Amino acid sequence: MEATRTLGSPLELSLPYRKARCENITVGRAKKVQTDKHQFITHGHPFKCLHRFFIGLEPSWSGLNAIEFTEGSAVGYVKKLSVVGDIPEDRLSETCHPNIVNLREAFITTGSVFLVYEPWGMTLDEILSLSTVFQLGEVEVATICQGVLQGLQYIHQVLDVSHGSLTLGNVHIMEDGAVKIANVGESMIVRPAAREKAKDIHAFCRMASTLLRPNSTPETRGTIGLLASDFVNVPPTATVEELLQHPFLKISAGPWCLRPVNILCTIVQKFRGAPPRNLPDLTT
């Protein structure tokens, strides 16, 4: 007798979602992901996907329009980008680099693109706003600069675009200390001219100068301080590859030295949001 076939519970069935393919990638192995456009790009509004769980944010938070919490899938941050005219689907691709807030997926509707990114961390803007109680040292700045340059190298060479909006607010320090450049999906869509790559480098140098400024007391600077000063005053023709070879970056200690930055700054932010009390002194 033929066995009776029954429908499985929807709570037990595996739902179709797209898993990120960027895991445990190293800088040396980073390359352009061979994107299957049928998987990477979905035509339609993400909130209408019944097998996906999105929570919308109204108003948006730091440019974030929604967060995905689909069971069995990694958390995703969703940004909505309004586009006038045709949406250049051929420019969009999944990214995979340890120094990029990686783009996982794109949803396209009339006049809008919803970009699904991996989660990001605390911006350099937020960290600098806490400089009265916590300041970055030269080792931390060198580590940040190295991460940003490696991310820029991927954007310029592998994605073949310029970022076009490299600011302190677009560089994030993750909980594990990783340094990541955000909003690369917007760069693919806007696609600034190739000459804008030089402007990315100029923007990076301004950023590095800002990060080092709290410690810039020329009369008391040692060898590392002099190297730092030389690093932020490189010729305007310097390339990413040349900057990565600068001696100042040799003091970079890796992501581990930035792990306390994210955690301690988060603690200070909570103290500032709490009823008046003495802030912890993180400078000693």
Task: Give the chain's domains with CATH numbers.
Answer: 41-117 (3.30.200.20), 122-271 (1.10.510.10)
pLDDT of 280 above 80: no
Return d(Cα 87, Cα 70) in angstroms, integer. Answer: 27
171-173/122-123 β-pairing? antiparallel
pLDDT of 214 above 60: no
**For 263, phi and psi rounded to 5 degrees?**
-70, -50
What six digits make up the tokens of 166? 């490299």
pLDDT of 13 above 50: no
pLDDT value for 26: 59
Q: What is the pTM of this model?
A: 0.82
pLDDT of 199 above 70: yes
Q: Could you tell me which residues are beta bridge partners of residue 66?
A: 56, 78
Of 120, 95, 115, nearest to 21 by C-alpha is 95
Return d(Cα 187, Cα 284) in angstroms, integer. Answer: 40
pLDDT of 269 above 90: no
Strand order in the sheet with 64-68: 41-43, 103-109, 112-117, 76-82, 64-68, 54-61
In degrees, to the nearest 5, what angle opens at C-alpha 273 toward C-alphas 271 and 275?
80
Q: Which of the two residues, 16 and 95, has the higher pLDDT score? A: 95
Return d(Cα 175, Cα 256) in angstroms, integer. Answer: 10
Residue type, 172: H
pLDDT value for 104: 94
Return d(Cα 155, Cα 157) in angstroms, integer. Answer: 6
Return d(Cα 240, Cα 152) in angstroms, integer. Answer: 7
As a whole number, mean pLDDT of residues 165-183 equals 94
**H helical segments located in the chain:** 37-40, 124-128, 138-153, 184-190, 196-212, 223-232, 240-244, 259-273
Average pLDDT over the chain reads: 81
pLDDT value for 168: 95
As a whole number, mean pLDDT of residues 79-84 equals 88
Reported as a single tens digit per residue, the pLDDT across 104-117 is 999 999 889 999 99
Sign of the four-CA dihedral 95, 100, 102, 106:
negative
pLDDT-derived band of residue 212, with 50, 70 and 90 as boundaries?
confident
Burial class from Cβ neighbours inside 10 Å (0-12, 13-18, 19+) for residue 4 reads exposed
Reported as a single tens digit per residue, the pLDDT across 33-81 is 555 566 889 999 998 888 889 998 888 777 888 999 988 888 999 999 8
